Structure 1
Amino acid sequence: MRSSFVLGLLLACVLAASAAAGATYPFAVTTEPSAAGHRVLARNSGPAPVSVRLTLAAADNVGSAQPLPVYAVVRPYSEMFLLQVHPLDPGRGHRFTTQSTYRLGSILAVPDPRALYRLPFENGRSFVVSQAAGGPVTTHHGEESRYAVDFRMPENTPIVAGRAGLVIETESSYRLGGSDPALLAKANYVSILQADETIATYGHLAFAGVRVSPGQQVQAGALIGYSGATGYTSGAHLHFVVHQLVRANDGFARVSLPLRFYVGTPPRIFAARYRQLLTADYAAADRMPQAVGEAPPVRRR
């Protein structure tokens, strides 16, 4: 008897709280016939590593060669085999749907404990820390923002990269900001993949205030955009956070990481504190320190 096949595909791209609800990334899970049944593949056509979780649903007369669910990291600009599906009884039809969840970043990333960050604003400028770990918490609830640092600053203040990396995602189309929870996913931002595959996000940027594009390499101190008050916020500020992607429940979660900043020559290394007034003091670019072995990630097709 000829086998019948019904394929359904569910893709859920869950980004950081500041990410645009309608943002898309060129990633897809597809199924194709094979001699043994069907192969499930992942195609990543963008600049970031993508972590994916795959399982099957509504399966009838279906077996798989790999244990389910399948977790994998698909490298930038690549295709990856995820799963081989076959009929348990070749004499009758089989049916199944695939269910996949993906998220930008690598669950295999190992954060570099030596990583250092310059302050994310221009040399010579000074701003107050309005929220940081160890101080009063107003919006940094949960693991995703526990170690985030907010800098209070006027709108349209130039924002620079705190550490070298590869721009993997941006959003600059939102205009509104305020305390309405409906604005939670409507902040403009830039996300940068760093050498250890952690991801730095610079949030609440101004409308049309992004100055970099996905796939662009940036160095620490390079202009990436302008501050704003978009999304869920009580006023103009920069939200700066570095994430590690981890497995959680039936998908993925972003866990924020402690940040070590530096200023001055020789460099003074410190953690930002609530109400601290910080001045970007980097008179000579060639004196900016880097962690041993630090290098921006290079992604080529």
Structure 2
Amino acid sequence: MLLHVLELLMSHYRGRFAPTPSGPLHFGSLVAALGSFLDARHAGGQWLLRIEDIDPPRCPPGASDTILRQLEAFGLTWDGPVHYQHDRSDSYQQALSCLGKLGLVYPCSCSRREWREHPIYPGWCRDGAQAPHKSQAWRLRSDLGLRPVIWHDRLLGEQAFDPAELGDTILKRKDGLWAYQLAVVVDDADQGISDVVRGADLLDNTPWQRQLQKALGLPEPRYLHLPLIVGRDGKKLSKQNLAPALPCDDDQVRPLLYRALRALDQPVEKSQQQAPVAEQLAAAIERWDSTRLQPVTQRDC
């Protein structure tokens, strides 16, 4: 009976990987995707793929297809259809309208240049747009929502932030494009995501997201923020920093998968670095233990 209950609980696990198709995946992306994948598969849960393409100017043609091929080359297969954020504008607008009725958002005409001497946006438009004739973004009233935001990160332990000290984040840009914070909250809820496993660079985004979840009456997933992979220069591996793209050739994929497992502090033997992808993943899924991760926010590549 107890075993049945445990299996039922595990079946409710839904994880996801949600890359922005601004370019191909790199080693840092692989570590994040792999950690999320293993956590879901070890729990007997689902692992979904969402392409966060709400910023078309940053998303070159073909980038999404490249990401799909890279994930498949590393054996990171997902459940169900791929979700694309460019199809989700109506859902985001409904959420923004709800926040408007609650008095938690406001139109802002300020430009970054105008408040560049301030560490965060000073909230000049909270009581009305300073320049109503200009184009306007929509910002979250971080001072009115849940404060402080406290949650338990599965790796880093208890986290506590006052979102007002982080500023009023943008939910919809002046050009009409949706911003990350609102889109990710709406999509995680609509997809029934129970566990978010992602890089530690997104740790300080979580307070705004918890504020939005609370305001919109949405479920709050569990969070696990993985150590961020940095290069020899100490900078985050990223597309902007020209991190090398992941290969799709099997001879190169195998040792990279082994390296990624090592970066996640998982028990892998050196003899496995040339083992077939399916063999490496099967062993990694069985042995996955998130408590083996070292509670740090970054580590060398």
| TM-score between the two structures when normalised by the length of structure 1 | 0.22
More strand by share: 1
- The structure number with the bigger radius of gyration is 1
| TM-score between the two structures when normalised by the length of structure 2 | 0.22
